[in-house]
Every structure is written in structure tokens, then in C-alpha cells.
Chains A and B, each alone.
Chain A
Amino acid sequence: MLAVLVGLPLLLAVVSAVMPWHSARSWLLATAGLVHVVLAGMLVVHPLRAAPPGAWVGLDPLSTLVLLVTSLLFLGCAVYAVPYLELRRERGNRMIVPALLVFLSAMTLAVISRHMGVLWFAVESTTIASAPLIYYNRNALSIEATWKYLLLCSVGIALAMLGIMFIGYSALGLESRVSLQLDDLLRLGPQLSRPWLHTGFVFLLVGFGAKVGLAPLHSWKPDAYGEAPGLVGALLSGGLTSVAFLAVLRSMQIMNAAGDVQMARQALLGLGLLSLVLASVFMVRQPDLKRMLAYSSVEHMGILAIGVAIGGLATFGAMLHLVNNALTKGCLFMTAGNIQRTFASKHLSSVQGALTVLPVSGALFLAGFLAITGAPPFGPFLSEFTILRGIVQAGHPVVLAVVLAALATVFVGMGATVLAATQGTPGEPAVRGQDSFLLVAPPLVMLLAVLMLGIYIPPPLRDLLQAAADLLEAKP
């Protein structure tokens, strides 16, 4: 079953690469997304028997959660891609469709892997598969963005490999064979050699942190998200970051099993606060819609890191926030893509009155902004509030003050940009935009899901979130 989940997108990628028909290729993408969601949903409803300890792949609550999120987000993006690729017919889709499918396959493998080596391989594969996605527009700016992304993420991920090897070295001599399998590492936890384990964790945090986009290794994010098509931005900011964050969480699990969770939490807290503060500064007076969303992604990864670092109730909040962030970012990037296409710009100097020109996309963008900045009754309000309560419970007044100040700055900064873009009267080239159904349906559905999560969390999802949080808190 898990093999199908990884293998099917890969197989379809090959099929789509040799297929000669443009539209059929786009629909194949949407079909793949649908099948993936159905399969993932079946796994959630009827969980597999627990993987035997030592298996390279398997599902635990944490990976089930991320799998569900990435799968749903991909379906949304794949449906959006059908009319989008039709509009961009001159560009062709022979490159982007196979790359998207390989990307899905690599993300799935990363999520289900229980072996640090396999995890590394899959995460690096996502970097490679997403490079053609960022390069889709083939102009000078997208080349620059792709180059920076490739180099920074490749070097970052190379450091993560070094971290994995250090952790392997910390287990050397404990058993006849060193194993990098997660269960083995968790079992050996307390016996691992401390200095190597700590150094290894730092390298893993830096390496996978670069991929998550935690400051100070976030510099590729605004460039890549800014130049990539909206649907790619949605996939990267909602899907890839969640997957990379899962890799960071795996490192946390190892540290937890070794009984050194305090050190790991402090490191994560530092990176989280830095990301939050830096992102909030850059979002003030940000005239570029997509770069603003990219900094918002840095901000929310910071919030996730802080949530997990504080622990307790905040971990549950962080798990919920991972879902909320992915869906809201999906909605925002897709509608931002619609706005950019209609105005032929993503800069405030040309984008005004989006609500008048694109009533549906503009309204969704505005609502998405309210959701992501934590306005009730949307989901992020609930999850951010839970994290804040967790911070209060854990007794960190300074952290609370910094987080609140940064969130307020973000609200004001992002609000100024979004309101300027949506309100007012459209500028000179008064383009009559049209919202086609499939280009607004996926973001609408995602926003409705986020709205629902703010009001009512279905009990099965609550159980899953709790189980995932418990896994991170579990004392060996």
C-alpha cells in the first residue's frame, strides 16, 4: 500500500513524460492527485498494522498527519493546475507535470520513511524535483531564484547528511552493526555518545532547517516563492515545508529518546523566534505580494518551531497549526497567482482594486490574509491561540511578549499590503478579469476547510493531532 503511494506518482510521471497530449497530461496530474488522496484517506481510516520495528517505511501518527496534509494540498494544486496549464499553453507542460508528480512521490517517501538515510534521500529528491518547478517561467529572475534555491538547499541538505552520519557515529560500538533506522536510534537513545549526538542534531537542525526555511537560512524562500508559479508556491510553502519540518521533528524525537530534549528545544526555540522576528520585519512595507507570502511562510515555520520547542499544550497547537498553515498558504498562493496573472504584476505599484477586477479571487485573498494572520474564526486563530496558551502554561513571559509583538507587526505589515492590493480602484489598464471555476474552487475549498477547523475539529482529526503531539512528547 505504501509502495503504491510512492510508486504510482512516479509511474504516472513517466507516462506523462511520454504522452503527446497537452490536456490529457494536465488531467492525468489531477487524477493522480485524486488517487493519492483516496489512498491516503484509506490509510487514515483503516490504519495499517504497525510497521515491524526496523522497517524502512511505515506510518505513525506524525507521518499520517503530514501525509494527509500534503496529499490534500497536492490535490488542490493539481486541480488548479488543469486550467492554469491551459492558460499557459505556450509554455507547455511536458516539464512541469512530470516534475510535479516526481515531487509528490519524493514528498510521500520522505513522509513515510523511518530510516534517516531514506529520509535524506527523499528530502534531497524533493529539492531536485522542485527546481524545474521554480524555473517554470524561464526568465532571468526565475533563473536567479532557481540557482539560489538549488545551491543553498543542496548545501544545507549536505550538512543534514553530515548530521545523520554524526548520529550514526554516536551509535558506533553499541551494537555489532550501526543502524540509522529510526526505531533503532530511539531504542539506543540513552546510550548514544553525547558529543556526537549533539553535534549531529545541530547539523540536522541547520540542514533540514534550511529546507524548512527557518531564519537565518531562509534567504532562498522569498526568491523561490516569488518567482515560481502560484501553484508551485502553494505546494512548496504548504507541502514541502511541512515535510521538511517532519524531518526536524524526527531529529527532535531522537534527542527526546536520548533524554536531551531540553537542549534541542532551546535550539529550536532560538531559530523559531529569530524566524518570527526577522520575517515580521521584512513584511512591513513589502510591496511584492508573493515575497510577502514567502516571509509569512518563514513566520509560520517560526511559530511551528516555537510551538514544538515549548512543548506540552503548545505541541498540540503546533500540530494543528501545521494543518492550518498548509491549507491557508495553499489558498493564498493560488489566489495571488490569479491576481498576478490578471494584473501582469505582483507588485503593489500595479496591483490595486483586486476586489473589483477579480471579485472571487480578491475576496479569497483578503479572507486568506485574515485567516493566516490569526483572525477568528479561522483555524490559525485557534492554533496560534493554543500555542500562546501553551507558552503561558509553560511560563515563558519573554517568549510570549516577543511572539505577540511579532504577530502584531505581521498583522499590520501584511494588512497594509493586502488592503492596498485588494481595495481601491483598479489602475490604468482596467483589465476585466475573469475568475474561472477551477481556478477559484480549490482555494475556496481550502479556505472553507480552514474556517471549519477554526470552529469545529472532527474528533478523528483531534485524536490524530493528539497522538502526533504525544509522539513528540513521549518519554522513552
Chain B
Amino acid sequence: MYDLTNLLLISVILINFFTLGSSRLGSCVRAVAAQGALLALIPLAAHGWTRHTLILGVGAFALKGVLIPWVLMRALRQVRMRRESGPLIGYIPTMVLGAIITSAAFIFADFLPLQPEHRGGLFIPTSLATLFVGFLLLMTRREAISQVLGYLVLENGIFVFGTLLAEAMPLMVEAGVLLDLLVGVFIMGIVMEQINREFSTLNTERLSALKG
């Protein structure tokens, strides 16, 4: 089972790079959906089949892999937009930054005072790398939808860390957290529609009237 977990975690890291390098918003949404779907399998792969992991896995799969991407794709269709309109930092430099961040996460994880069973594992570095890639997306992209994707990648990084704690989060709370994420993204989708209606673009640079 351990190999499967590592395989999943490495795929998560690869998808990070894909989202950093792609300008096509549709593929970015699909990539984040795939990342969410893979993440949902991690609790099952890491802790085996228990009632807790099964419900968590199915719930996370349905939300992160299906429902949230569906909301985003719907928003994307409505605004009829294909591409990111020029990030603050180009795609290649962001990918290089992503690579530096990911390596730094691996090195940094070795210095952390981890529990013996987590030492040398991929969980912590993957979690940190995904977290920072989420931040990178949030900071460098200008389209509202890319920023939501950045937020989702950030959440995915936290989810990876959460699987280490196994059953610390009771199922009810875990369900609530996922529900919050879904409703939050749903509301962000509605606000994006309004941004598009009002400004005829999703570029958040236009959202700069409020100052002082």
C-alpha cells in the first residue's frame, strides 16, 4: 500500500507543475480536478479501508474531483474565456520558481522534528510544496478563476497534511470542512459571473477602484 501512496503523492506534485505551466484555463481546471480526485485516494491508500477513510475518500472525490470542477467549468463556459490573460510572472519563470519551492520543501522537511514514522516520507514535502504552489498561483495570476484554482491547490496541500493526522478530525467536522469548500467555491463562482457581467472580464486588475 505504501508504494501506491507515494505514487499518488508524486502525481500530486506533477500536477502542481502542470497548473503552473499551462495558460489554458480549461486544462488547469481539469488538472486541479484530477489532483483532487487523486488526493481523495490518499487516505484509503495510507490508512487502509476503514469506515472513516472510505467515507472521507468518497466525499473528497465527489467534491474535489467532480462537483467543484463542475462549478468552475460552468463559470468558465459562461464567461467564454480560454486563456489566462498574462500572469504577473511568465509561465517558464513560475515553473522554475515552482521547482525551487518543491526542492526547498523536500530539503526543509528533513529538518522538521517529525514523528519517526513520517521521516523520509513524501507526505510533508508534498504538502508543503503544494501549499506554496497554491500561493504562487494566487499571487501571480490575474484571472479570478486562476486565483480560485490557486486557493484550491492550497487547500489540497492542507488536505495532504491532514491525512497524516488520520482520525484527529472527526468525520462530521471533515464533512463540514468539505462542505464549506464547496459552498465557498460556489459563491466565488457566482461572484465571478457578476464580475464578468459588470466588467466584461475576469481580470482582477480591474478590481482596483477601492483605495485609501
Contact = CB atoms under 8 A, between A and B. Distances in A.
A177 B208 CA distance: 48
A389 B68 CA distance: 52
A151 B199 contact: no
A146 B144 CA distance: 12
Interface in A293-322: none
B161 A140 contact: no
Most chain B CB within a 10 A radius of its CB, from A131, A162, A227, A291: A162
A271 B199 CA distance: 36
B173 A147 contact: no
A39 B166 CA distance: 38
Given A125-B180, A169-B165, A178-B165, A148 B113 contact: no
Interface stretch (B30-38, B74-82, B151-159): B151-159
Interface of B: 112-113, 115, 131, 138, 144, 147, 151, 154-155, 158, 161-162, 164-170, 173-174, 176-177, 180, 183-184, 187-188, 191, 194-195, 198-199, 204, 207-210, 212
Interface residues of A, number: 50
B115 A172 contact: yes
6 contacts: A118-B176, A135-B194, A140-B199, A151-B151, A178-B166, A178-B168
Most chain B CB within a 10 A radius of its CB, from A127, A148, A168, A222: A168
B177 A162 contact: no
Contacts of A145: 210
Interface of A: 115, 117-118, 120-121, 124-125, 127-128, 131-132, 135, 138-141, 143-148, 150-151, 154-155, 158, 161-162, 165, 168-169, 171-173, 177-180, 193, 195-196, 222-223, 226-227, 282, 286, 288, 291
A195 B113 contact: yes
Contacts of A222: 210, 212
Main secondary structure of the interface of B (DSSP, over half): helix
A143 B147 CA distance: 16
Contact of A147 (B176, B183, B184, B195): B195
A131 B194 CA distance: 13
Given A128-B187, A144-B209, A168-B168, A162 B158 contact: yes
A192 to B, nearest CB: 12
Nearest to A106: B180
Given A131-B191, A171-B168, A223-B210, 8 more contacts: A117-B174, A128-B183, A139-B198, A140-B209, A143-B191, A150-B188, A162-B131, A178-B168
Given A121-B176, A161-B177, A147 B207 contact: yes
A179 B167 CA distance: 8
Given A131-B191, A151-B147, A165-B165, A117 B198 contact: no
Contacts of A171: 168
B177 A117 contact: yes
A80 B210 CA distance: 27
Contacts of A226: 210
A132 B194 CA distance: 12
A177 B187 CA distance: 36
Nearest to A143: B194
Contact of A115 (B161, B166, B173, B209): B173
Nearest to B174: A117
Nearest to A153: B184
Nearest to B183: A128
Contacts of B176: 117-118, 121
B180 A143 contact: no
